[in-house]
Copies of this chain bind each other. A is one copy, B any other.
Amino acid sequence: MAVQKHDVTASGSPDRLLALSDGIYAIAMTLLVLDVKVPEGLDEKAFRDAMGNLGPQVAAYGLSFYVLAAFWRDHRRLFLLVRRLDTSLLRLTMASLGAVALLPFPTALLADYPDEPAAVSLYATVIVVIVALHLAIAAMLWRREHLQAEPISDTLGRAVLRDLAATIIVFGLSVPIAWLSPTAAQWTWLRLIPAKIISGRGLRSAMRSSSTP
A residues bordering B, Cβ < 8 Å?
A: 9-11, 16-20, 22-34, 36-38, 40-41, 44, 47-48, 51, 61-62, 65-66, 69, 72-73, 76-77, 80, 87, 90, 94, 97-98, 101-102, 104-105, 108-109, 112-113, 116, 118, 149, 200, 204, 207, 211
Q: Report, nearest first, the 3 A-B pairs whose CB atoms are least far apart.
A: A23-B26, A27-B30, A19-B22
A82–chain B nearest beta-carbon distance, Å: 10
Partner of A65, one of B29, B41, B73, B98: B98
Q: Which residue of B lies closest to A73 (CB)?
A: B90
- Choose one: B22, B44, B66; the contact of A20 (CB below 8 Å): B22
- A23 / chain B contacts, CB cutoff of 8 Å: 22-23, 25-27
Copies of this protein in the assembly total 4
With both beta carbons as reference points, the residue of chain B lying nearest to A76 in the complex is identified as B16
Residues of B within 8 A of A80 (CB): 10-11
